[in-house]
């Protein structure tokens, strides 16, 4: 019986291992983590992450061939294949600060594996890691190997939150990179055999180690680039009276371009896009390719520009001050159908409004008050370190309240900012909301979820990203 152990019970490790257990009943899968609270959540009825369909998968396998444990060393020493999906945050200090990946957690995982291993192991990189990480890990393992053979594989994950389970059931591709030696090929085949239980052969791609590592960074950079491209066009649309939805629709009709990832918004978020591009930039710089580095840097610059443009638009529309005004923020997660707030544009927008002394009331159907307060108090990149290393429960930001209902959040507000495209925001009773707000009542739609014309009929002054501007907004230029 093949035994698989996964280090790290987060957004990647949890769902991936649950699906492997479901599709491969003959394989024993154990997910281990140093966080006791996280493992007990995986063993409870309230899983630590929200992902449509995840509950069912876990409940079907848990206790049968899927286990969650904090006894890391025992399970690592018994496993044949070890997946490593620990955090790889962006460094905040030292060489490469603000760009390079911090491999502290990865390195300690590798040393621990070398320490406890008593038999040959296949070690699989699952977390997003910079190119050439495998080489570093390989060195640590072989120099501490005590005669045991380790094969390193790169098997990047391409999950999108909100659809992770479906992405695992029917992946576009599974990528496995390994050494081009007989032992390396054998290891690749062993992992291929696991996925072949449910993934068609032609969707399992094998490459060398570096191609696999770079493909993940490149894929995320291409996706983020599309969002920044359409967001750059959205600024031009507002300036010229064009409508970004119409432009994006006609552009996306070109089969070479395709319609996906062309929704203009307040900006992209999520745990990977910014981190991976910064990483790509750093690798380019280290390899003497400044032109390539600057090209990819621009994708993040436009994203930051889009967020600050949104805040400027809010402030300048409301008589150039939001001091002491209640502003309702609808949606805090970085996209719908997930409770994940990592790098969500809502953080920068809220901080921008708080900087102008606004009072903010936030409603998100999946994000807890504790999480929101923590996000607003944290420094950049802190979120990517294990919880016990994060600053302790932050002093709550006084001007921020969190409600469990959109109507409560908007009551008495001067303006509403829609920052996540939750479906329920399309069907709110905006007439009732308008009645309860201060006048003039503003809506700033950062996700183009509402129909601006209908809201204008009710009486709102509406700003939708990349849409022709309200006459009111035309008189008030958004100063950058």
Annotated binding-site members for NAD(+): 8-13, 33, 38, 86-90, 127-128, 161, 272-275, 342
**One domain for residues 367 and 457:** yes
Check whether 394 has a pLDDT greater than 60.
no
211 domain-assigned: no
Domain-located, residue 213: no
Note the pLDDT of residue 76.
Answer: 96
Q: Is residue 224 part of a domain?
A: no
| 475: number of Cβ within 10 Å | 9
DSSP string, 278-326: HHHHHHHHHTT-HHHHHHHHHHHHHHHHHHHHHHHHHHHHTTT--TT-E
**176 and 257 co-located in one domain:** no
Predicted local distance difference test score (pLDDT) of residue 161: 87
314, 266 contact by CB (below 8 A): no
462 to 332, 349, 397, 432, 445: CA distances (angstroms): 20, 17, 28, 16, 8
If one counts the domains in the chain, the total is 2
At 325 the pLDDT is 97
Q: Are residues 394 and 452 in the same domain?
A: yes
> What is the average pLDDT across 333-349?
93
Residues 353 and 460 grouped into a single domain: yes
Report yes or no on 445 lying in a domain: yes
Q: State the average pLDDT over residues 291-318.
A: 96
Least confident of 22-26, 86-90, 288-292, 319-323: 86-90
Do 74 and 186 sit in the same domain of this protein? Answer: yes
In a domain, 209, yes or no: no
Query: Which residues have a Cβ under 8 Å from the Cβ of 422 and sit 6 or more positions away?
Result: 330, 331, 333, 336, 364, 365
Report, as residue numbers or ranges, the catalytic residues. 272
Average model confidence (pLDDT) across the chain: 92
148 token code pair: 């045991």
Domain end (from 199, 224, 258): 199
Is 212 contained in some domain? no
In a domain, 367, yes or no: yes
**Dist. CA 242–CA 192, nearest whole Å:** 49
Q: Is the pLDDT of residue 392 over 70?
A: no
| DSSP-assigned letters across all residues of 168-179 | HHS-S-EEEEE-
Mean pLDDT of the 246-264 span? 97
Q: Which residues contact 107 (CB under 8 A, 6 or more apart)?
A: 136, 137, 140
Question: Is a pLDDT exceeding 70 seen at residue 35?
Answer: yes
Assigned token pair, 422: 């939750």
Q: Do 11 and 153 fall into the same domain?
A: yes
pLDDT at position 432, please? 98
For residue 253, what is the DSSP state?
Answer: T
Share of the chain above pLDDT 70, in %: 95
Please tell me whether residues 173 and 277 are part of one structural domain: no
Looking at 199, 217, 247, the residue that finishes a domain is 199
Torsion angle in degrees (nearest 10) through CA of 284, 286, 290, 293: 30
Same domain flag for 180 and 247: no
* Res. 478 pLDDT band, cuts 50 70 90: low
Question: What pLDDT, on a 0 to 100 scale, did the predictor assign at position 312?
Answer: 94
**Same structural domain, 277 and 354:** yes
Say which residue the tokens 């719908």 belong to: 336
**92 and 146 fall within a common domain:** yes
Residues 186 and 275 in one domain: no
Report the percent of the chain where pLDDT is more than 90: 80
What pTM did the predictor assign? 0.89
Judged by DSSP in three states, 86 sits in: coil
Q: Are residues 128 and 243 in the same domain?
A: no
Tell me if 143 is assigned to some domain.
yes
**Residue range of the domain that includes 256:** 233-474
CA 416, CA 408: separation in Å to the nearest integer?
A: 12
The DSSP-derived string for 335-380 is STT----TT-HHHHHHHHHHHTT-EEEEE-SS--HHHHHHHHHSPT
- Specify the CATH number for the domain of residue 194: 3.40.50.720
Round to whole Å and give the CA distance between 171 and 465. Answer: 32
402-453 tens-digit pLDDT: 999 999 999 999 999 999 999 999 999 999 999 999 999 999 999 999 999 9
CA–CA separation, 376 and 132 (whole Å): 34
> What is the C-alpha to C-alpha distance for residues 382 and 388, in angstroms, rounded to an integer?
11
> What is the β-pairing status of strands 28-32 and 326-330?
unpaired
């Amino acid at each position: 019986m093949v035994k698989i152990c996964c280090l790290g019970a987060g957004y990647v490790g949890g769902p991936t291992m649950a699906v492997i257990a479901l599709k491969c009943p003959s394989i024993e899968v154990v997910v281990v983590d140093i966080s006791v609270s996280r493992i007990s959540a995986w063993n409870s009825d309230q899983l630590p992450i929200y992902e449509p369909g995840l509950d069912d998968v876990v409940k079907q396998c848990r206790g049968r061939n899927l286990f969650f444990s904090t006894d890391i060393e025992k399970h690592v020493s018994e496993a044949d294949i070890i997946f490593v999906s620990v955090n790889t945050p962006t460094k905040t200090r030292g060489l490469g600060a603000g760009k390079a990946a911090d491999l502290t957690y990865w390195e300690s995982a590798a040393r621990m594996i070398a320490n406890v291993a008593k038999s040959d192991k296949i070690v699989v990189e699952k977390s997003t890691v910079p190119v050439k990480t495998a080489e570093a890990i390989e060195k640590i393992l072989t120099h501490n190997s005590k005669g045991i053979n380790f094969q390193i594989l790169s098997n990047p994950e391409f999950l999108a939150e909100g659809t992770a389970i479906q992405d695992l059931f029917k992946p576009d591709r599974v990528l496995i990179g390994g050494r081009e030696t007989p032992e390396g090929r054998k290891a690749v085949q062993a992992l291929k055999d696991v996925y072949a239980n449910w993934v068609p052969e032609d969707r399992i791609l094998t490459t060398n180690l570096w191609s696999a590592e770079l493909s993940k960074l490149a894929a995320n950079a291409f996706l983020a680039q599309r969002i920044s491209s359409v967001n750059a066009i959205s600024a031009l649309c507002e300036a010229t009276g064009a409508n970004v939805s119409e432009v994006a629709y006609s552009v996306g009709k070109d089969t070479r371009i395709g319609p996906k990832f062309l929704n203009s918004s307040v900006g992209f978020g999520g745990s990977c896009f910014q981190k991976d591009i910064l990483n790509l930039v750093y690798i380019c710089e280290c390899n003497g390719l400044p032109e390539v580095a600057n090209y990819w840097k621009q994708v993040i610059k436009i994203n930051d520009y889009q967020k600050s443009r949104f805040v400027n638009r809010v402030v300048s529309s409301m008589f150039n001050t939001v001091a002491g005004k209640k502003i309702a923020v609808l949606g805090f997660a970085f996209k719908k159908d997930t409770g994940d707030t990592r790098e969500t544009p809502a953080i920068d927008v809220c901080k921008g409004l708080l900087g102008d002394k606004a009072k903010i009331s936030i409603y998100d159907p999946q994000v807890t008050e504790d999480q929101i307060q923590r996000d607003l108090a944290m420094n950049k990149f802190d979120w990517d370190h294990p919880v016990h290393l994060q600053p302790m429960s932050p002093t709550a930001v006084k001007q921020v309240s969190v409600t469990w209902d959109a109507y409560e959040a908007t009551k008495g507000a001067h303006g509403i900012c829609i920052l996540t495209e939750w479906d329920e925001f399309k069907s709110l009773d905006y007439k009732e909301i308008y009645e309860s707000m201060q006048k003039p009542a503003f809506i700033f739609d950062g996700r183009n979820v509402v129909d601006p014309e209908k809201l204008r009929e009710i009486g709102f002054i509406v700003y939708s990203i990349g849409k022709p501007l309200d006459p009111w907004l035309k008189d008030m230029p958004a100063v950058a």
